[in-house]
């Protein structure tokens, strides 16, 4: 998890809001909840669909044509997921996940 404001990963828990875990950034003091989504970014659902297409063998440019997400954005996601959640994606396509790492 990182701060949506300054991208710092120095985050502390800060109680709960409407049943969701609230966090505070130690560096800049920004408060945010678990499911925070940047208005500049894509929804998690779109990201997951693109990644699913990727692990099922679609190329970046094919996904770009289908989902309308720029291929460099998808590459960035694949890289993030490859670093953060290798086991989850290993389950679907081991060889491809290994190449990401």
Minimum separation from the CB atom of position 94 to Zn ion (A)? 36
Minimum separation from the CB atom of position 27 to Zn ion (A)? 5
Minimum separation from the CB atom of position 32 to Zn ion (A)? 9
**Judged by CB, which is closer to Zn ion: 1, or 6?**
6
**Packing angle between helix 60-67 and helix 71-84, nearest 10 degrees?**
110
Contacting residues toward Zn ion, per CB under 5 A:
3, 5-6, 8, 25, 27-28, 30
Distance CA 35, CA 86 (A): 21
């Amino acid at each position: 998890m990182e701060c949506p404001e300054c991208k710092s990963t120095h985050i502390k828990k800060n109680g709960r809001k409407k049943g969701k875990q609230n966090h505070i950034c130690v560096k800049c003091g920004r408060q945010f909840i678990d499911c925070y989504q940047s208005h500049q970014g894509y929804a998690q659902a779109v990201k997951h669909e693109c990644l699913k297409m990727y692990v099922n063998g679609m190329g970046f440019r094919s996904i770009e044509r289908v989902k309308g997400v720029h291929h460099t954005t998808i590459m960035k996601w694949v890289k993030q997921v490859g670093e953060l959640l290798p086991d989850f994606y290993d389950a679907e396509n081991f060889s491809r996940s290994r190449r990401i790492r």
